[in-house]
Structure formats: structure tokens, C-alpha cells
Amino acid sequence: MKPAAFDYQAPTTIADALALLERHGSDARLLAGGQTLLPMMNFRLVAPEVVIDLGRIPDLAFIEADGNHVRIGAMTRQRALEFSPVVARHLPLLHEAVKMVGHLPTRSRGTIGGSLANADSSAEIPMVLQVLEGEMLVRGPHGERTIPAAEFAVDAMTTSLAEHEMLVAIRVPVMPQGTRFAIEEFSRRRGDFAIAAVAVTVLMQDGVCRSARLATAGVSPVSRRLREAEQWLEGSTLDADAIGRAAQAASETVDPSADRNGSEQYRRHLTKALTKRALQRAAAPRQSA
């Protein structure tokens, strides 16, 4: 298949991209890495009249430590995240998760902003940014605003971006020294979309869990924080009982989808198993930020 005819625009500044987006409105689609948009256009699932390519805007591709945060431009390639010493040092959970994204060609073309704006429920990056409590920096005709990662995706393939807005950067708090973390994923083959995945961070102090963050991917229409499971962990020593209760709470509180890859019951089972496995890994002191 080939896409329907469209007009191609390649702005070189954020201001020009926003002007084009405002001019063409719903007739336009932003092109980031193209790993989802282009196949959808080829299969005629979407047929935008205008494609606005963001790949020639240098201000959208960067990774920098900014005090207690790491700022990442929306057009930063996933492959750049994989090899970034800044990400490896300050956001090791994200560094580990990126390696699970698709295959080498996918990561070489795919961008962090494209993954987030696509809001695919199986994507690893939106899940991890919920655990890390990141923020999306969004710009539109009325200026810039910040959207917490937990509020960015509102449904499958749907975000809280307003009309004529675009994601320009992501800001993520540096993981505190000593944070333990893990990510577990189940898919049919390595590189396939996750049928279920769980990401975890825990911060221990004097042998007691002072902070726990968990989130899922692939289970529900949107990535979800497992706050009920977190409550069983905070104040515990991450013993087997606390981990078991947290895993049970995770499976009971998710709202799983059913499709050809698995039933609701199957995804609940995977959520419990992956949560337990991730917490057991995180409880081990050998891996920490």
C-alpha cells in the first residue's frame, strides 16, 4: 500500500511548526520518528492532507542535566537515549527500558516524543515516565504549559494535548541516589509489543521502603500507576509478604483489556507475576541508581 497524496512541510523552528499546525488544524499530522504514523498512512488508516516533519528542528533534539532534573527534547531518538551517559547516570530505569523498545531500526528512527504522543498502551517509555514522575512540556499558540506524565495519556492513542499544541520536551527528576529499580515485560517475541509490563522503583532507608512507584504497560488502554500496590510496600522491609500483597493488589486494581493476545484474566495474572518478579529484583540491593 501507498499513502494518499499529502502536502509535506519541513519547518526548521518550533514557531514555524506551531504556525503550520494552527493553519492546517485537524488536516495536519506531526511527523516525529514515523514508526507509527507512516505505516498507518500506508494502510490508509489515516490520510492527513499535510504532514509536518519535525526532524529539521534542532531545538527539539537534546539531552541535558538541569539541576535536579534531566531535560530531553521531544525529537531525541531512542537510540540516543540508549547510549546517553546522562540518562545512564541519572535515569537508569529509562536507560534500561529503552533497550526493550522494538528493534534496532525502530530505536534508530523512533523518538521519545513520538512514543509519548502516540499514547500506545504497550509502549515502555510512557510507563517509565509515570514511575519517574516526569512532566511533558507542551507548547501552543497560547504559550507553554506542563502536563504530568500521569495525566498525559487519557485513552488508547489519545493524549491531553489541546488543538494546535505540540510536545516539545520532557523533564524528569533525577533518580535519588540508592534508588532500586526493575522492569519486567512479557511479549510473544523480544521486540514485540508488550502484552504486559511492569516498572518499579523503590527507595530504601535503614532497611525500610520509604518510597515505591509502580506502573504498567500493555495491560489497560493506558499506562497506569499502581498506587494501591505502592501502599503495601511503603513502610515495609520489602519482605516476601509485602511483595506478595503488593502483587495481589496490582492484579486486582488494573482494568485489563482483552484481545487476541490475551484475556482480561490472563492480563491480571501477568500483572501479578510481573509485579512480583520486578519487586523481587528491585529488593535486591545490587542494582540501584
Domain 58-173 has CATH 2.40.50.1070: no
Q: Determine the Cα angle at 22 with ends 17 and 24, to 5°.
A: 95
Q: Domains of the chain: which residue ranges?
A: 7-53, 58-173, 180-283
Architecture of the domain defined by 7-53? 2-Layer Sandwich (3.30)
Cβ–Cβ < 8 Å for 1, 42: yes
pTM, to two decimals: 0.93
- What is the amino acid identity at position 187? S
Those residues with Cβ within 8 angstroms of residue 30's Cβ, 6 or more apart along the chain or in another chain: 17, 21, 52, 54, 117, 166
Would you tell me which CATH number, out of the four given (3.40.50.920, 3.40.50.2000, 3.30.470.20, 3.30.390.50), belongs to the domain 180-283?
3.30.390.50
Instruction: Decide if 52 contacts 164 (C-beta within 8 A).
Output: no
Whether residue 142 has pLDDT greater than 70: yes
Nearest C-alpha neighbor of 211 from the set 231, 240, 239, 241? 231
Residues 86, 147: Cα–Cα separation, whole Å: 23
Please tell me whether residue 96 adopts helix, strand or coil conformation. Answer: helix
pLDDT value of position 65: 96
Contact (CB, 8 A) for 70 and 174: yes
Average pLDDT over residues 190-206: 92
Helix (H) or strand (E) holding 137: strand 135-140
pLDDT, tens digit, for every residue of 76-96? Answer: 999 999 999 999 999 999 999
Beta-bridge mates of residue 158: 155
Average pLDDT of the segment spanning 97-116: 91
pLDDT at residue 287 in the model: 55
Q: Which residue has the cell 514485540?
A: 192
Contact 122/193 with Cβ under 8 angstroms?
Answer: yes
**Beta carbons of 275 and 178 less than 8 angstroms apart:** no
Return the pLDDT at 67. 87
Residue 208's alpha-carbon distances to 117, 213, 235, in angstroms, are 37, 15, 6
Please state the rounded mean pLDDT for residues 238-243.
97
Computed over every residue of the chain, the mean pLDDT equals 94
Query: Distance between CA atoms of 150 and 157, rounded to whole angstroms?
Result: 15
pLDDT in tens, 266-278: 999 999 999 999 9
